[in-house]
Amino acid sequence: MRKRHRILLPVVLTVVLTVGGILWGSDALPIPRWNSANPSEQAEVPADRQLVGNSKVYAAAALTGNPYLIADVAEDSSPAVVFISVEWPQPEIDTSRSPFDDPFFRFWFGDRFFPFPTPGRPQPRQSAGTGFIIDTEGHILTNQHVVGDVGEGQTITVRITTAEFDGEVEAELIGADYMLDLAVLKIEKPQELKELPTLPLGDSDRSRPGEFVIAIGNPYGEQFDHTVTIGVLSAKGRQISIPDYDKSTVKLYQNLMQTDAAINPGNSGGPLLNIKGEVIGINTAVNAQAQGIGFAIPINTAKEVLTDLIEKGKVERGSPWLGVQYESAERYFRVSGAQGIVIVNVLEGQPAEKAGLKEGDYVIAIDRKPIRGTQDFMAKVQQLQPGQQITLTVRRGGTQLQIPLIVGERPEDID
C-alpha cells in the first residue's frame, strides 16, 4: 500500500470558520423599507435628462466633461444584461433553497427575514441572479454559485429586455468551475431579435483603483431589474472567505476587485463596467456588515478560462504542487501578526527538495508578492501552473535568499 501524505493546500477549506459577513450577491431578499426623497430641481434640464442626485455621478460628469456619460453607458449596456432564474428538480426530502429560505442568508440575516417552507413538503431548490451576453452566439457569463454545476438537472430561464424583445428564453449550462465561481450559459437568439446584444470584455489588469465603475444587475430579484449603480474601483487583489453550507466548506476567493458601487443580493454574475462600457469584473459578493464594500472577479480571470468552459464544460488544470508541509509564521514563532509561512517538512523527491528548500525556511514572498499567512500562501499556490517557474523569497539563518522553483503536479497518491 502506498503511503499517502496529507498536505494542506486546498483553496476550498473543509472547516467552517468564523468569517466577517461576506455573502454572495445572488438570490432574492425581502424588500427593505426606505425613505422617499424629493429629486433635485433642475429646471434648465428636460425631465427625461436630469441627473440622479448622486455625488459620484456629478464627479464623473465633471471629470469627463460629459454630464450624461453614466446614463449613456448604462443605456448602451443594459440590453446585454440578463436576469437568470434557476430551479432544481424537487428533492425526495425537504431540502428547499428558495430565495427566501437559503441557510446562507439565514446565517447573516436571521430567521425573522425569511418565511419557513411548508413543513414536510419537499420544495424545489431555487436561485436567482444576473448574467451578461458576451457574443452573438448566445454565450452568457455569470457566477457558478448562481446556476450550479453541469449535470444537476436544473432548469435555467433567462429574461432578455431590449427595445425589440422583452421575454424569457431557456438556457443551457454548458460550463462551470466551482473554484473560480464562473459559469457559461448558452441561449438561442429569439426570432424577434436581429442580433443578440453583447458587452465588450475589457482588460482588468489595466484598471486602476480610483477609476469610476458602473454595476448593472437585478437586486432583490426581477422587480428591480437593470438597476444601475456607480462607484469607484476601491482596490485590487483582495482575498475573502465565504461559507458554503451546501458543501460544508469555506470558499476562499483571491485576487478580487473591491468596489463601493452598490452590489445587492441578485447582482451576482452581473457586469462591473468601466466608463468605456467595457466589462472589467463580474459582481460576486458584498460585505453585509459594512456599506460600500463589494467584490468582483476580474474579467481577465474569466477570459483565461472561457475557451475551456465553452468547449470542454470545465476548466482543465493540473493541481499545482510544491511538496512541502508548513505552518503560519505567527504560530511557528509565536509572534502575533508575523507574516509568511515556515516550512516544517520537505517531501523527498518533490519540487521543493529539488529547489533546495529546507525545513525551517521562512518563506515571505512568491515572485516578490508578500505572503500574509497560510490562506494567502494556499491561494497564491493555487494560481500557479505545473511547470511554471517561480521565485521564493526565503529567510534562512539570518540570510535572505531568492530560490527558483519549478512547480510540479500533485501526485495521485497524495491528498
Active site residues: 145, 181, 268
Nearest to 157 by CA among 260, 87, 205, 253: 87
Cα separation, 140 vs 271, in Å, equals: 11
Nearest to 87 by CA among 168, 33, 9: 168
For residue 109, the surrounding DSSP H or E stretch is: helix 103-109
Asked if 51 and 42 touch (Cβ cutoff 8 Å), the reply is yes
Query: For residue 19, which amino acid is it?
Result: V
Show Cβ contacts of residue 264 under 8 Å, excluding neighbours closer than 6 positions: 25, 29, 217, 219, 220, 227, 286
> Residue 376: exposed, middle, or buried by beta-carbon count in 10 A (0-12, 13-18, 19+)?
buried
Q: What is the largest CA-CA distance in the chain?
A: 83
Cα separation, 404 vs 391, in Å, equals: 4
Cα separation, 102 vs 97, in Å, equals: 5
Cα separation, 378 vs 401, in Å, equals: 21
Nearest to 237 by CA among 297, 321, 324: 297
Asked if 411 and 208 touch (Cβ cutoff 8 Å), the reply is no
